[in-house]
Amino acid sequence: MEALPVVHPSPLVALVGNPNCGKTALFNVLTGSRQKVANYAGVTVERKEGSLLTPSGRRVRILDLPGAYSLDPLTPDEQVTADVLLGRRTGETTPDFVVCVTDATNLRQNLRLVLSLARLGLPMVVALNMTDIARRKGIVINAERLAALLGVPVVETVGVKASGASALIKVLDSLAIPAQSQRKAVWRTPSAADIAHDQTEVRRILGAVGGDRLDGVTLSDKVDAVVLHPLFGPLILAAILFLVFQAVFAWAQVPMDAIKNGVGALGVWLGTVLPASLLKDLLVNGVLAGVGSVLVFLPQIIILFFFILLLEDSGYLPRAAFLLDRVMGSVGLSGRAFIPLLSSFACAIPGIMATRTIQNPRDRLATIMIAPLMTCSARLPVYALIIGAFIPRRAVWGGLQLQGIVLFVLYIAGVVSAMGVAFVLKRSGSLARFQSLMLELPAYHWPNLRNLAIGLWQRVEIFLSRVGTIILALMVILWALSSFPAPPPGATGPAIQYSIAGHLGAWLAVLFAPIGFNWQISIALVPGLAAREVAVGALGTVYALSATGADMSGALTPLIAQSWSLPTALSLLAWYVFAPQCLSTLATVKRETNSWRYPIIMAAYLFALAYAGSWITYRVALALTS
């Protein structure tokens, strides 16, 4: 059945181009902040649409299609681009007009896509982007000649300058949009003869318009001689990673405390102005405390993505992937997986969001699956509590703190098990035998502040919308589980003990007895599903403490030191290395993979690992201490 074409008053213009041609920068100049970021239906490819008001008052919708080398797609990104252009994608209107964005400094490579698009017969204009850099390199392209040879208009653009798109806007302003029915985009896979023909054609065009300088050593080459150096390269990478790590943990502390205190103060204020009621309890203990516990990671997410975008925009990120490709490749991952995995040390949610930079879907999935094994910062409060209570504060092996060593071992255990899981995935054939790298290393350039700001805002928006929807809903559900039914009159135990969460905990205690968890721990694990560190507060509730915040931890330490055995404590530490205790992460996985399958698989395998890890830890510790 053919759907009726949607009549849309403003024409849809698609930006198409090779990766790294400065297309997104041009898109930002054209649309400013009037952008909508979402996913294409059914895939995890980002869809960016914006709108532009031309000087004559015409409204043009602009679609930033994913970068593609060819219309014969190899990656999901390219598949989307080809499908949209050919009108094969359900739910997407075929663009009325195509802007083919080319990197003026790399026309030899970019022209091949231009020729393919020209063969399609879609109405289009070619944007010679980055002409500023090209000029500085002494590359002058005769745009008029190029337009005559290609038979389509050619305009010069500078994506990093606010006025850099004026020539393109002029073309879009005076555009005559042909009716959709008048044209038919037909694509056939090019034959060997087609490719050879295109190569001859590219050479002929380059010869005629200029712009082909295969000069020896460029500035980027000189930088690469150091950055990709077998010895200095890894050292520079380590220094950058160290800086990012430091920034995420150190710089974020002040704003994180501010958010925590702000949420706390708001809760106290609400507590005083609202009459004691179920609604108040829901607002203060359910919504505010729950959402606040996730919102507190916003500063870390901003700082982390600031660095990721900076490294991406400057061209360093693919170099880092190049340097790490061998290490990551040995366990079957792509070199690109390192940024998401690094991010996961702050929080698995931005880490999983950052896997969007991995083009191969299988690599991306493998990276998502192991991301929660990186020790996220939400585990620190739990680790700190248990280590503080059970590991003696003393120096071993020449001044090293025993407590610090235990913490380090916990981090390493996560990394090693992640590598192990990736290796198993590779062995089981879940990962392709021949994993492609074929990663372009674009010329370095200075990051553009405007693009950085827009990119950062989009990440923040995605995170906040998630907090406001699915995470909020989960928090309310968990609150309800911990609050209902209310304790019977005359009850002596903590209220949570009589709730559904309490009953669940009692039932879990049977399941967890073989790994040494008592019923108090089992109950605390239920609200701990909201966010890992909530378990600390929940333990406090179960042990009927009235203290809050930092005092809670202080009051809990002697209590658990008395009532838990060392094997139980170690077993709980091992549990926290693996257990999928963060529903927000699972919700993010569901969002990013568009399926319940992967969060379920993830939860199952992590639970299995956690149970096995804790069981072994508990039994070994029991044997050693008895």
Rule CB under 8 A: which residues touch other proteins? 69-70, 72, 74, 105-109, 112, 190-192, 195-196, 199, 212-214, 220-221, 224-225, 228-231, 233-234, 318, 321-323, 325-326, 329, 433-443
Q: Which residue has the tokens 């532009």?
A: 52
Strand 124-129 versus strand 97-103 pairing type: parallel
Chain centroid to Cα 89, Å, comes to 25
| Residue-wise DSSP of 560-597 | HHHHS-HHHHHHHHHHHHH----HHHHHHHHHHHTSSH
Question: In the bound complex, what is the minimum distance in angstroms from residue 199's beta carbon to other proteins?
Answer: 5
Q: Nearer to other proteins by C-beta: 184 or 203?
A: 203
Cβ atoms < 10 Å from Cβ of 500 = 15
Identity of the residue, 321 or 508, whose beta carbon is nearer to other proteins in the bound complex: 321
CA 466 – CA 54 distance, rounded (Å): 34
Q: CB-based burial of residue 543 (10 Å sphere; 0-12 exposed, 13-18 middle, 19+ buried)?
A: middle
Smallest gap from residue 239 Cβ to other proteins (A): 16
Q: Read off the tokens for 335.
A: 């070199």
* CB of 69 or CB of 618, closer to other proteins: 69
Whole-number minimum distance, CB 126 to other proteins, in Å? 17
The least CB distance from residue 279 to other proteins, in Å, is 57
Rounded least distance, CB 478 to other proteins, Å: 45
By beta-carbon proximity to other proteins, the closer residue of 48 and 319 is 319
124 Cβ contact list (under 8 Å, min separation 6): 97, 98, 99, 100, 117, 118, 152
For the CB of residue 299, give the shortest distance to other proteins in the complex, in Å.
Answer: 33
Starting at the edge strand found earlier in the chain, the sheet holding 46-53 runs 35-39, 46-53, 59-64, 12-17, 97-103, 124-129, 154-156
C-beta of 196 vs 268, nearer to other proteins: 196
DSSP 448: P
Which residues are CB-contacts of 63 (< 8 A; sequence separation ≥ 6)?
12, 13, 14, 15, 47, 48, 49, 84, 95
CB-wise, 20 or 367, nearer to other proteins? 20
Burial class of residue 510, CB neighbours in 10 A (0-12, 13-18, 19+) = exposed
Nearest distance in Å: CB 113, other proteins: 9
**Residue closer to other proteins (CB basis): 234 or 255:** 234
Q: How far is the CB of 72 from other proteins (least distance, A)?
A: 7
Q: Which helix (H) or strand (E) holds 289?
A: helix 289-295
User: How many other C-beta atoms can be found within 10 angstroms of the C-beta atom of residue 419?
Assistant: 18
The residue (of 360 and 458) whose beta carbon lies closer to other proteins is 360
Is residue 64 within 8 A of residue 27, CB to CB? The reply is: yes
Cβ nearer to other proteins, comparing 80 with 572: 80
Nearest-approach distance from CB 230 to other proteins, in angstroms = 4
